Structure 1
Amino acid sequence: MGGRAERTAGGPQGRDAGTLIDGARIVTPWGTIEGGWVWLSEGAIAAIGGASDPKPLASDGAERVNGAGGWVLPGFVDVHVHGGAGYDFMEASPEEFDAITRFHASHGTTGLLATSLTAPRDELTAVLARTSEYMAKPMPYAQILGVHFEGPFVNVKWKGAQNPEYILPPQAEWLEEWVSRYPGVIKLQTLAPETDGALDYIELLARHGIVPSAGHTDATYEQIVAAADRGLRHAVHTFNAMTPLHHRNPGTVGAVMSDDRIVAEVIADGHHVHPAAIRILTRVKGRDNVVLVTDAMSAAGMPDGDNYELGGLPVVMKCGVARLKEGDSLAGSTLTMIAAFQNMVRKVGVSVEDASRMASATPARELGLGGSIGSLEAGKRADVLLLDADLELRRVWIGGRPIEPAGTAG
């Protein structure tokens, strides 16, 4: 066999008849198992094995899935997604949360961070309240893992699609209130490290177990390194809305690329970043320090049109590319995680295994959730994807429950 087999004692128990996926290439942390199998039972990965390993004794009613030589991957974890299916997390109702998470689940996302935009304090607090309430109940589709606050403590010079009316320096008292009222819900916050009070705020984020992230920033190389010394560990949509790399002035991009303490997001849609630049990033940072994200907005999964908004700013989508009506800046994306994964393999040239790590294990580890999701290992939650040999998404399971995929993904 091509990797390590792990199994739990006994067969499936209780009402869950289980699912056996057989005859596929199983991507595990120890390597790819050719012709392997995965047993899902009671919401968890119960066992993994190779062709020569004895399979579990399936009970009546168990589903048997022929992998047909395709790939079995861990579900994708998207730490930067604003919405989809016509809805935005900034004002989503429970039914709209369902619509957003159903859309992204159908494209392989099994866990995500509901991501905000720059907005007034009360609106951001409302995002926390609604997300916390949604997370407290069983979630039928992609699991909300927490909130990513993108802003409002960014630099207006690099605002991108952030509303400049609400940009301001970091406010420590806001954070203290948020973590007191909604403990554990904020997982990541993006800010400009060069702004007044940002270094102290970064330390405060880290003390509360929140990943501090740089973005929409005019920071110099030296300022990013100083922020990393205080706890900065992440960079949103690397290359976009930050000071670029120059050989005499490395800027934010140079610091992100050269500092191993910082994990780099990238939007691999072919519009935000050229594939060659992503190739350079992945070669420098490695699969354990690059995270694939969608930065998807409400228009993801929707037809072209000029009736969309992002953070209260009018957006036009043409040929699937979303831009602000005023200024023509890119306004998030309409990317899905399966498309990002495919682009990394087909256009950037990374291996299936490395692209999988960037889409699943690395973001899960960064959020402190690597013990339960992000890789195919016995005992972890059964968030599992089946792709065919051409990397098209065929099946999705979240907590062992089948989710209808969107069909042939592009």
Structure 2
Amino acid sequence: MNKTPNGYALLSINVIQEKKIIPNGFIKIRDGKIIATGSMENYEKEDGLIEKEFTTPLYAAPGFIDIHIHGLNGADTMDASEEALTTMAQTLPKEGTTSFLATTITQDKEPIEAALLTVHSFIEEQANNHSGSSELLGIHLEGPFISKKRAGAQPLTYIIDPCISTFSKWQKQSGNNIKVVTLAPELTEGTEFIQHLHQTGVIASIGHSDAVYSEMVTAIEAGASHVTHFYNGMRGIHHREPGVVGAGLAHQELFVEMIADGIHVHPAVIKATFLAKGSERMILITDSMRAKWLIDGEYELGGQKVLVENNTALLEDGTLAGSVLKMNDAVRNMIEYTNCSITEAIQMASSNPAKRLNVWDRKGSIEAGKDADIVLFNEEIEIILTICNGKITYKGAN
């Protein structure tokens, strides 16, 4: 019986680092960590590492981090089951995603609490026994503290005003794992709620909001630093009333999430946003629902019927209901739509979310000492190999 290797040496690859690419480079991995990287000119063989040399031109990037994902492959965060979270964690490496935030949807308090408790136990289980699947880093609480006018696919019935006591209870139930909260700042107690989030180290993200510009400025001053799926589910821009979108473009304090599928936001608008914000303040997300990786048909989101056809997920009334976007496709689309560099695209898919979630010390770049979360892809951004925590979790065609 073969002994499980304690490491790998990935050879003859283009290593994408934060500000540059090392052509014909290598990465050494041991015991779940990156121990060295550099040019093949400086490579030295090391005992105990299985060498994997690649003959076709491949890029190695830090694994993608999806901070806004509801589900995929038949599973959803709101299923509130270990099985659903396991399905998500095991499927995500197919698209190069090595870490994620399980994202909730507006519901009654009991289903939300069930989801939070399940995530808490799953994170503890992963910490004790990391199987090599995508790592669940926490929770993105999307709703229920949002605007009914800008609800989108969020169920109207369960929307409530921001409530610090309710959130505090939820945060405790989650094991302090709620990392991002999407809210509408114009609601009653919205400013106080943002201040509380900011003071407790939680990202206050403006989304599903009808806020006018002055309300956005107040929110930013209170500590808001993020905008959920930019352009979707929010007051748009007008040249005399900038709204949520105008504030997002004008204020560099705000990071903006982008669903780069060409459906939620027109490619020209994605390009304009990139020119305004730069790669430093944009984060690629999928906002995907359970139909991703499955065939077209009828599915469910937040208790609502969703029809999926031609890469588009819609409620029965035609409202967009999340996406079926894969992260490697988001990276490819971003390069195509904006003509950004591959390093800038990876910054938006890996580095920026790692920094936002305060895991930059161990994720988001290929550096010695960090977690060996690595994705290898070809020039078409097709996933060839995904490594999570030093373990090969997905092999594509090469």
Asked if the contact 2:182–2:207 (Cα under 8 Å) also holds between the matched residues in 1, the reply is: yes
CA distance in structure 2 between the aligned counterparts of 1:180 and 1:136, rounded to whole angstroms: 14
Asked if the contact 1:19–1:65 (Cα under 8 Å) also holds between the matched residues in 2, the reply is: no
Please state if 1:51 is matched with 2:50.
no
CA distance in structure 2 between the aligned counterparts of 1:63 and 1:375, rounded to whole angstroms: 21
* Equivalent position of 2:207 in the other structure: 215
Aligned counterpart for 1:176 among listed residues 157, 168, 173: 168
* Equivalent position of 2:189 in the other structure: 197
Aligned counterpart for 2:144 among listed residues 148, 152, 168: 152
Aligned counterpart for 1:346 among listed residues 336, 344, 360: 336
Task: Return 5+ residue gaps in structure 2 as ranges.
Answer: none
SS of 1:157's equivalent? Answer: coil
Asked if the contact 1:24–1:72 (Cα under 8 Å) also holds between the matched residues in 2, the reply is: yes
Q: For structure 1, which segment, 169-178 or 158-167, has the greater mean C-alpha deviation from structure 2 after superposition? A: 169-178
CA distance in structure 2 between the aligned counterparts of 1:24 and 1:37, rounded to whole angstroms: 6
Aligned counterpart for 1:322 among listed residues 313, 316, 325: 313
Asked if the contact 1:105–1:405 (Cα under 8 Å) also holds between the matched residues in 2, the reply is: no
* Equivalent position of 1:86 in the other structure: 74
1:367 Cα deviation from its structure 2 partner:
0.7
1:30 Cα deviation from its structure 2 partner:
3.5
CA distance in structure 2 between the aligned counterparts of 1:72 and 1:202, rounded to whole angstroms: 38
Aligned counterpart for 1:116 among listed residues 104, 120, 135: 104
1:125-160: CA deviations, max 9, x gaps? 111100010111134311100000000000010110
Please state if 1:232 is matched with 2:224.
yes
Please state if 1:384 is matched with 2:374.
yes
1:221-272: CA deviations, max 9, x gaps? 1111110100001101101111111112111100011111110000001100
After superposition, the Cα gap between the structure-2 partners of 1:107 and 1:67, relative to the gap in structure 1 and judged at 3 Å, is farther
Please state if 1:370 is matched with 2:354.
no
After superposition, the Cα gap between the structure-2 partners of 1:76 and 1:372, relative to the gap in structure 1 and judged at 3 Å, is same
1:386 Cα deviation from its structure 2 partner:
0.8
1:330-369: CA deviations, max 9, x gaps? 0000011111011111233211100000000001100111
Please state if 1:313 is matched with 2:301.
no
Give the counterpart letter for 2:53 in structure 1.
V
SS of 1:52's equivalent? Answer: helix
SS of 2:280's equivalent? Answer: coil
1:405 Cα deviation from its structure 2 partner:
4.2
Please state if 1:289 is matched with 2:259.
no
SS of 1:48's equivalent? Answer: strand
Q: For structure 1, which segment, 336-345 or 91-100, has the greater mean C-alpha deviation from structure 2 after superposition? A: 91-100
1:51 Cα deviation from its structure 2 partner:
3.0
SS of 1:187's equivalent? Answer: strand
After superposition, the Cα gap between the structure-2 partners of 1:312 and 1:406, relative to the gap in structure 1 and judged at 3 Å, is farther
* Equivalent position of 1:10 in the other structure: none
* Equivalent position of 1:337 in the other structure: 327
1:179 Cα deviation from its structure 2 partner:
2.6
Asked if the contact 1:291–1:362 (Cα under 8 Å) also holds between the matched residues in 2, the reply is: yes
Asked if the contact 1:267–1:273 (Cα under 8 Å) also holds between the matched residues in 2, the reply is: yes
1:206-234: CA deviations, max 9, x gaps? 12211000000000111111101000011
Please state if 1:72 is matched with 2:63.
no
Q: For structure 1, which segment, 379-388 or 182-191, has the greater mean C-alpha deviation from structure 2 after superposition? A: 182-191
Asked if the contact 1:108–1:405 (Cα under 8 Å) also holds between the matched residues in 2, the reply is: no
SS of 1:404's equivalent? Answer: strand
CA distance in structure 2 between the aligned counterparts of 1:28 and 1:116, rounded to whole angstroms: 32
Give the counterpart letter for 1:152 in structure 2.
P
CA distance in structure 2 between the aligned counterparts of 1:323 and 1:348, rounded to whole angstroms: 26
Asked if the contact 2:29–2:49 (Cα under 8 Å) also holds between the matched residues in 1, the reply is: no
Asked if the contact 1:18–1:58 (Cα under 8 Å) also holds between the matched residues in 2, the reply is: no
SS of 1:225's equivalent? Answer: helix
Asked if the contact 2:75–2:84 (Cα under 8 Å) also holds between the matched residues in 1, the reply is: yes
1:353-393: CA deviations, max 9, x gaps? 00000000001100111111011111000000111233221
1:60 Cα deviation from its structure 2 partner:
5.0
Asked if the contact 1:21–1:67 (Cα under 8 Å) also holds between the matched residues in 2, the reply is: no
1:115 Cα deviation from its structure 2 partner:
0.1
* Equivalent position of 2:28 in the other structure: 39
Task: Return 5+ residue gaps in structure 1 as ranges.
Answer: 1-13
CA distance in structure 1 between the aligned counterparts of 2:56 and 2:116, rounded to whole angstroms: 43
Q: For structure 1, which segment, 171-180 or 316-325, has the greater mean C-alpha deviation from structure 2 after superposition? A: 171-180
1:61 Cα deviation from its structure 2 partner:
6.1
1:40 Cα deviation from its structure 2 partner:
1.1
SS of 1:90's equivalent? Answer: helix
Aligned length: 392
TM-score calculated relative to the size of structure 2:
0.95
Give the counterpart letter for 1:256 in structure 2.
G
TM-score calculated relative to the size of structure 1:
0.92
CA distance in structure 1 between the aligned counterparts of 2:58 and 2:100, rounded to whole angstroms: 25
SS of 1:158's equivalent? Answer: coil
* Equivalent position of 1:274 in the other structure: 266
CA distance in structure 2 between the aligned counterparts of 1:130 and 1:258, rounded to whole angstroms: 39
- Give the share of equivalent positions with the same residue, in percent: 34
After superposition, the Cα gap between the structure-2 partners of 1:129 and 1:345, relative to the gap in structure 1 and judged at 3 Å, is same
Asked if the contact 1:85–1:298 (Cα under 8 Å) also holds between the matched residues in 2, the reply is: yes
After superposition, the Cα gap between the structure-2 partners of 1:312 and 1:47, relative to the gap in structure 1 and judged at 3 Å, is same
* Equivalent position of 1:249 in the other structure: 241
SS of 1:288's equivalent? Answer: helix
